[in-house]
Amino acid sequence: MLTNLKLKNVGPAPETELEFSPRLNLFTGDNGLGKTFLLDVAWWALTRRWPHEVNPNLVSGYTAKPREPKQAATIDFSVVGKSGKTSQYTAAYIPRDEAWVGKAGRPTNPGLVLYAHADGGFSLWDPARNYWLKKGNIDVQERIPAFVFSPKEVWEGLEVDSNGNSTIVCNGLRRDWSRWIDQQGENKALMERVLETLSPPGETLRPGPMRRLSLEDARDIPTLAMPYDPAVPVLHASSGVRRVVALAYMLVWAWSEHLRAAELLGEEPTRQIVMLFDEIESHLHPRWQRSILASLFEVAKAFNDQANLQLLAATHSPLVLASLEPLFDAEMDAWFDIDVLERNAHIKRCTFNGSDEISNWLSCVTNVYRPYDQVFSEAG
Ligand SMILES: Nc1ncnc2c1ncn2[C@@H]1O[C@H](COP(=O)(O)OP(=O)(O)OP(=O)(O)O)[C@@H](O)[C@H]1O
Ligand SMILES: [Mg+2]
């Protein structure tokens, strides 16, 4: 779990400081104010790799660069590790190496980290598969540093270079889901359960019979049952449905592979899960936007009823904010709104009170939502 983040001379503000909450952390703000940037930095803090550095097929997640190259740039953060211990880390940007460098050695293990990128790509860091090795007395990072998928690789599979050999680390949604259906095993059932949990109320996504797509293509494609067609091939499904099916697949793949790896290591599966989710509402209709946040917490519990999920999500949707009304707990959750102040992005933590006015949902400064600082000063 990430507990705080402090940036100097990097990103859309000269200085940024955030204290995260243990459960939900929601980011709002106009285009270009640093929501995705903060998620990228959070991913780096948890895994020490920039997504684009791991997979250049990505068109986002680039290494953070300082604003003023001649001035010192730092990223400070604290992570609560698997053992419950908090560790603090400071990295400084070294221009010649184009890298963020801090204390050497094995980083704190944050548990399973999943990042759903805005364009449909995913990044995953698995404590059982990506954590450092010990060789003699020395910690070395000789494993694949993370699994970073472009949108196409989520569907078609991911091949990585590992110690000079090209290895298929994931078969991709189309092949894996077909295989899971053929095998009639646990993953088939888990995929169905996760799809059902992520579905909007009253419109459960259910698989239909497998179907061929063309004369030349010998592959059977998983389908979804729609009210107007009992077997829509998943490759023909709508953008919103594909976004959620891909999310369900990545979650099931990540969790089932984590279970297998933990078993091979003779370790307990992780209870800590951190999820970063950019533009959580993307492609979803309003009813779905109102259920997606709560569904993610349910999925984590379905994987492991002892799981603690910390979710950092960015949104432009008032309906995602509205969906928090019955859930928001100021002890467990936080809402950060980013605005422009004196030509810099300024992030503030807001109180969440709910509103009847939909136009007010995203604004931290209407009379319904008062800035956090103001509430503190009123309280004395
Ligand atoms: N790798 C990077 N290094 C340094 N600064 C960056 C980097 N990536 C983004 N930024 C800065 O962050 C700004 C905000 O970009 P970001 O993509 O985070 O906006 P956003 O709030 O997610 O917007 P949108 O809602 O349109 O997705 C950019 O204009 C740029 O100044
Ligand atoms: Mg963005």
Q: Is 51 in the pocket of ligand 1 (CB under 6 A)?
A: no
The answer to the question of residue 371 being in a domain is: yes
Per the CB < 8 A criterion, the answer to whether 28 and 321 are in contact is: yes
Lowest mean pLDDT among 81-85, 172-176, 278-282, 354-358: 354-358
Q: Is 132 in the pocket of ligand 1 (CB under 6 A)?
A: no
H runs (alpha helix) in 12-144: 35-47, 51-54
Question: Which residue's CA is minimally distant from atom 11 of ligand 1?
Answer: 11
Burial of 216 (0-12, 13-18, 19+ CB in 10 A): exposed
Q: Which residue has the higher pLDDT, 80 or 318?
A: 80
Query: For residue 132, is pLDDT > 70?
Result: no
Q: Is 9 in the pocket of ligand 1 (CB under 6 A)?
A: no
The answer to the question of residue 182 being in a domain is: no
What is the reported pLDDT for 370? Answer: 39
Lowest mean pLDDT among 128-142, 168-182, 241-255, 335-349: 128-142
The answer to the question of residue 188 being in a domain is: no
C-alpha distances (whole Å) from 362 to each of 251, 324, 338, 354 are: 29, 12, 11, 10
What is the reported pLDDT for 137? Answer: 63
Q: Is 29 in the pocket of ligand 1 (CB under 6 A)?
A: yes
CA distance 47 to 321: 28
Question: Which residue's CA is minimally distant from atom 18 of ligand 1?
Answer: 34
Q: Which H or E run includes 344?
A: strand 344-350
CA distance 323 to 298: 15
| C-alpha neighbours within 13 Å on the C-beta side of residue 117 | 24
The answer to the question of residue 96 being in a domain is: yes
CA distance 344 to 12: 6
Give the SS3 label for residue 116.
strand
Q: Give me Rg for the CA atoms of the chain.
A: 21
Query: For residue 357, is pLDDT > 90?
Result: no
Q: What is the DSSP letter of 366?
A: S
Locate 9 and state its tokens.
Answer: 């001379």
Q: How many domains does the chain have?
A: 1
Instruction: Report the DSSP pairing between strands 344-350 and 333-341.
Output: antiparallel
The answer to the question of residue 62 being in a domain is: yes
Give the model confidence (pLDDT) of 56-74 as tens digits. Answer: 999 999 999 999 999 999 9
Q: Which domain holds residue 332?
A: 2-157+253-379
Q: Which residue has the tokens 């697949």?
A: 249
* Amino acid type, 131: Y
- C-alpha 278 – ligand 2 centre gap (Å): 7
Q: Is 61 in the pocket of ligand 1 (CB under 6 A)?
A: no
The answer to the question of residue 325 being in a domain is: yes
Residue from 10, 16, 31, 36 to probe ligand 1 pocket by mutation (most atoms less than 8 Å from CB): 36
Domain CATH for 342: 3.40.50
Percentage of residues in the chain having pLDDT higher than 90: 73
What is the reported pLDDT for 355? Answer: 63
What is the reported pLDDT for 322? Answer: 87
279-302 burial: b if 16+ Cβ within 10 Å, else e: bbbbebeeebbbbbbebbbebbeb
Rounded to the nearest 5 degrees, what angle is found at the Cα of 346, between the Cα atoms of 345 and 348?
Answer: 145
Q: Which residue has the higher pLDDT, 211 or 133?
A: 211
Q: Which H or E run includes 92?
A: strand 86-94
Q: Is 297 in the pocket of ligand 1 (CB under 6 A)?
A: no
Residue from 37, 98, 317 to probe ligand 1 pocket by mutation (most atoms less than 8 Å from CB): 37
